[in-house]
Structure formats: structure tokens, C-alpha cells
């Protein structure tokens, strides 16, 4: 793919979804067990700069959809289009190139780094997939570390994964995802491994990336608060099917389906209740442990 070709395609893609999933299904066959339909006729789209969250209980099929979108798993039926091109119809070579536009971030950053590779080595490998010339790679690695607020970047670039905290490793995972300048990040439970204070920081980082770099996100989460903070639209999955989807606030404020109402009742009863009439108190109460930062909350 030449640069003008890519630029032409980007222009012709303006306003179109960066990711479009059409009617995908997946059945797993395990020896000695009945066939299990994990994903059943799921369709959704993500537009440039938009964050769409797939929410649902454990086992509802969210990660299986993400894996099919990332082309890590082939659907039994249906189609996945990345920037208008069918992933299932691409040659392995074309898939390798095109897939750079879509990068994953997974839940457990420890598992996704080679313990013998330094931060520089991991980032260099990711940067090398893109178009950055060799002499500029070090500067790009430092820039990426700054973008994910591992500052000053010189303090981190020669470290090894075990020399980083869990939150810092997740930032590094995000830096690595940003390296090939993706248009879409598919993040599967990116906050689940982090404790409460780190969750808020990573969440704000993801919000900043969305706002500043116009990167689209497909966010997989069981946590309605995280979906509410980050996503403009939510897709609710239950037993492999989409039971409800729409604008986040609309779904959260007036869910149509009983299943969505149950999910919300489990986590949002405090947050979505009308604010109590303020009564003057001598000191403001401390934030509840699961609360999100103001910036995230107002998103
Ligand atoms: N490779 C596989 N082989 C067999 N069954 C699988 C496989 N991958 C997933 N499943 C099953 O498919 C169902 C959906 O799994 P999936 O991981 O997509 O759910 P999820 O909503 O992401 O759940 P969680 O939030 O716990 O990760 C589960 O019942 C799971 O056990």
C-alpha cells in the first residue's frame, strides 16, 4: 500500500465506520460437550473517534466478539470490515498490513510482555511495524512513553516489565498499541487488573487519547461505570446476543430491557439516583471507593 493510496482511502472513508461487524456468530465445539453458541448474530459499528462499549456479564460473549473483530478468531458466519475492507477476504499479507490500523489492549499487561525485553525493545518492535524510519525510532519511543504519562520517558525506556508497577505496565501496553498510529483500539477489560486509583488514571488517559488523537475505541467491559465514563454508545450482550444498544446516557437512564436494568441495578443505583437535595455539612464526605474521577464522570 503506497502513502497516496492510504491517504485516498482515508479520505474516502471519512464519516464511515472504522469497524463494522455484520451478523457474526461463533459456536465452540469442545470434545465431550454440547456445541456452545458463544456469539449469535452480532452486528455493531464504531465510527472514527467514537468509543463504543460492549457490556454484559461474564460469559456473555464480549471477548469472543473482540477476538473476531481483531481477526484472532474466525467467525462461523458474518463479516468484519475494517475501514471498509472485509478482514475475512484479505490475504494473510494484506491482513498483516491493514490490521495495524487496529490495535489490542488486554486486561493483564504482565502476560502481554516478554519479560526479557526492555521497554525500549518492546516499543521498538511495535514501532517497526509502522512507517517510522530507523533513526527516529528512539525519539518515537520516548514520545509514546510521554503520551501515556510515563515521564520523564528516559527513566522508563531501559527498564524491564518487572521493574514497572501494574499501572505502569498497562500504560506501556497502551503506548505499544499506539506505536503504529492506529485508528482503532480494541480494549478488553483494560482496567480490570488495576486498583481503584490506577483505574481512574488509566481511564483519564484513554479519554485524553480519544479526545486528542481521534482514536476510536471498542471497549469490552463488564463495568457499567467504566462504560458510562468512556463510551458514547453501549451495546449490551446477554447469552451471545445483543439485547440492547444505543447512546450511553439513554441506555443508562432508561434501559428498555430487564437484563440491562438488572446490570445497572447492580452497580449504578447510587450513581444514577437523582442527586439528593444538598444539606450543608461541615466536611464533604469522601468519595465512594468505586467512584470515577470528575473528568471521567462528566464525559
Ligand atoms: N476457545 C473457546 N472454546 C470453548 N468455549 C469458549 C472459548 N472461548 C470462549 N468460550 C466460551 O464462550 C462463552 C463466552 O466467552 P467470552 O470470553 O466471550 O465471554 P465474556 O463476556 O468476554 O466473559 P468475561 O467477561 O468473563 O471474559 C463462555 O461461556 C466461554 O466459556
Q: Is the CB of 62 under 6 A from ligand 1?
A: yes
pLDDT at site 268? 59
Q: Is the CB of 222 under 6 A from ligand 1?
A: yes
The x, y and z cell numbers of residue 96, run together, are 498483516
Q: Which atom of ligand 1 is nearest to the CA of 29?
A: 4
Secondary structure class of 164 (helix, strand, coil): coil
Q: Give the residue extent of every domain in the chain.
A: 16-112+183-275+290-297
Query: Residue 233: beta bridge partners?
Result: 52, 247
Average pLDDT along the chain: 86
The x, y and z cell numbers of residue 39, run together, are 456469539
Chain position carrying cell 463510551: 231
Q: Which residue has a Cα nearest atom 2 of ligand 1?
A: 28
Q: Which residue has a Cα nearest atom 1 of ligand 1?
A: 28
Q: Which atom of ligand 1 is nearest to the CA of 56?
A: 21
Q: Which residue has a Cα nearest atom 17 of ligand 1?
A: 63
For the segment 70-75, the average pLDDT, to the nearest whole number, is 96
Residue 187 pLDDT greater than 90, yes or no:
yes
Q: Which residue has a Cα nearest atom 11 of ligand 1?
A: 38
**CATH assignment of 16-112+183-275+290-297, among 3.40.30.20, 3.40.190.10, 3.40.50.300, 3.30.70.100:** 3.40.50.300
Q: Is the CB of 60 under 6 A from ligand 1?
A: yes
User: How many whole angstroms from 30 Cα to the centroid of ligand 1?
Assistant: 12
Q: Which residue has a Cα nearest atom 25 of ligand 1?
A: 58
Q: Which atom of ligand 1 is nearest to the CA of 64?
A: 18
Complex prediction ipTM: 0.96
Q: Which residue has a Cα nearest atom 3 of ligand 1?
A: 28
For the segment 106-128, the average pLDDT, to the nearest whole number, is 92
Which of left, alpha, beta for 221 (phi over 0: left; psi -120 to 50: alpha)?
beta
Give the number of residues written for the chain: 299
User: How many whole angstroms from 285 Cα to the centroid of ligand 1?
Assistant: 40
Q: Is the CB of 106 under 6 A from ligand 1?
A: no
Pair type for strands 77-82 and 233-238: unpaired
Instruction: Dump pLDDT digits (tens) for 147-158.
Output: 999 999 999 999
Question: What DSSP string runs through 31-91?
Answer: TTS--EEEEEEEEEEE-TT-EEEEE--TTSSHHHHHHHHTTSS--SEEEEEETTEEGGGS-
User: How many whole angstroms from 37 Cα to the centroid of ligand 1?
Assistant: 10
pLDDT at site 47? 96
High-pLDDT (> 70) share of the chain, %: 85
Range list of H helices, 214-283: 224-230, 248-253, 258-272
CA 33 to CA 248: how far, in whole Å? 37
Q: How many whole angstroms from its chain centre is CA 197?
A: 19
Pocket test for ligand 1, best of 34, 61, 65, 107 (most atoms within 8 A of CB): 61
pLDDT at site 14? 60
| pTM greater than 0.80 (yes/no) | yes
User: Among residues 157, 203, 209, which one has the least CA distance to residue 178?
Assistant: 209
Q: Is the CB of 59 under 6 A from ligand 1?
A: yes
Which range is least confidently modeled, 4-13, 36-45, 197-206, 239-248? Answer: 4-13
Amino acid at each position: 500500500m503506497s502513502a497516496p493510496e492510504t491517504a485516498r482511502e482515508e479520505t474516502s472513508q471519512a464519516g464511515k465506520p472504522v469497524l463494522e461487524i455484520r451478523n457474526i456468530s461463533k459456536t465452540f465445539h469442545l470434545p465431550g460437550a454440547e456445541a456452545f453458541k458463544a456469539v449469535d448474530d452480532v452486528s455493531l459499528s464504531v465510527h472514527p473517534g467514537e468509543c463504543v462499549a460492549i457490556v454484559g456479564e461474564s460469559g456473555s460473549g464480549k471477548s469472543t466478539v473482540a477476538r473476531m473483530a481483531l481477526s484472532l478468531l474466525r467467525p462461523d458466519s458474518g463479516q468484519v470490515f475494517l475501514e471498509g475492507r472485509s478482514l475475512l477476504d484479505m490475504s494473510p499479507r494484506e491482513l498483516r498490513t491493514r490490521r495495524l490500523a487496529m490495535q489490542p489492549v488486554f486486561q493483564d499487561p504482565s502476560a502481554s510482555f516478554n519479560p526479557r525485553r526492555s521497554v525500549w525493545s518492546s516499543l521498538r518492535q511495535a514501532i517497526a511495524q509502522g512507517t517510522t524510519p530507523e533513526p527516529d525510532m528512539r525519539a518515537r519511543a520516548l514520545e509514546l512513553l510521554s503520551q501515556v504519562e510515563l515521564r520523564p520517558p528516559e527513566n522508563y525506556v531501559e527498564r524491564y516489565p518487572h521493574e514497572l508497577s501494574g499501572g505502569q505496565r498497562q500504560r506501556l501496553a497502551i503506548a505499544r498499541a499506539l506505536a503504529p498510529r492506529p485508528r482503532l483500539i480494541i480494549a478488553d477489560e483494560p482496567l480490570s487488573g488495576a486498583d481503584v486509583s490506577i483505574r481512574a488514571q488509566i481511564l483519564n488517559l484513554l479519554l485524553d487519547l480519544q479526545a486528542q488523537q481521534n482514536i476510536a475505541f471498542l471497549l469490552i467491559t463488564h463495568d457499567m461505570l467504566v462504560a458510562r465514563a468512556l463510551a458514547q454508545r453501549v451495546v449490551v450482550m446477554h447469552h451471545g446476543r445483543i439485547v440492547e444498544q444505543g447512546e450511553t446516557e439513554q441506555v443508562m437512564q432508561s434501559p428498555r430491557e430487564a437484563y440491562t436494568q438488572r446490570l445497572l441495578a447492580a452497580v449504578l443505583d447510587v450513581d444514577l439516583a437523582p442527586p439528593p437535595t444538598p444539606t450543608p455539612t461541615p466536611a464533604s464526605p469522601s468519595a465512594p471507593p468505586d467512584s470515577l474521577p470528575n473528568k471521567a464522570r462528566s464525559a
